[in-house]
């Protein structure tokens, strides 16, 4: 079982990392600063950060009490 999980973890890392490495390899490094100073890009990054922070807070506020309740209450079929 340990070998299977190691293989699955390795494949998952490869599937996530290889496309990013391919993009970094083909990217022209001289023009890296141009998109990062674009106002539309900065707005998109700000919105992404705000949405991810709000989602994290909501999951924490809803998930923690629900996890506590599920751990304390006897659920049929468990």
What pLDDT does residue 76 have? 81
For the chain, the structural domain boundaries read 2-72
Tens digit of each residue's pLDDT (9 = 90 or more) over 33-54: 777 888 999 999 999 999 999 9
- pTM, 2 dp: 0.56
Neighbouring C-beta atoms of residue 39, cutoff 10 Å: 7
| Residues 6 or more apart in contact with residue 42 via CB below 8 angstroms | 36
List alpha helices for 1-78, DSSP H. Answer: 2-26, 33-36, 39-72
């Amino acid at each position: 079982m340990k070998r299977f999980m190691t293989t699955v973890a390795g494949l998952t890392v490869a599937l996530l990392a290889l496309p990013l490495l391919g993009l970094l390899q083909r990217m022209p490094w001289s023009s890296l600063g141009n998109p990062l100073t674009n106002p539309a890009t900065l707005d998109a990054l700000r919105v992404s950060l705000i949405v991810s922070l709000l989602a994290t807070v909501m999951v924490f506020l809803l998930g923690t009490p629900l996890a506590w309740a599920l751990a304390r209450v006897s659920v049929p079929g468990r």
